[in-house]
Amino acid sequence: MAHIKSCLRANRTSISVASKGQYKYHKRHGLREKFERMSK
């Protein structure tokens, strides 16, 4: 769980930089890809 939290924390910083439109896309697709990679 700690690894996932640190990943989300790093994600949060990139979200603040990105625009809201990119954030919505990143949240839906980017996170799903990241979790799939982490599980492999």
d(CA 25, CA 5): 20
d(CA 2, CA 15): 20
pLDDT one digit per residue (tens) for the chain, 40 residues: 566 666 666 666 555 555 555 555 555 666 666 666 766 5
What per-residue confidence (pLDDT) applies to 34? 66
What per-residue confidence (pLDDT) applies to 12? 62
What per-residue confidence (pLDDT) applies to 17? 53
What residue spans define the domains of the chain?
Answer: 2-39
What per-residue confidence (pLDDT) applies to 2? 63
pTM for the predicted model, two decimal places: 0.20
Nearest by Cα to 26 from 5, 7, 2, 1? 7
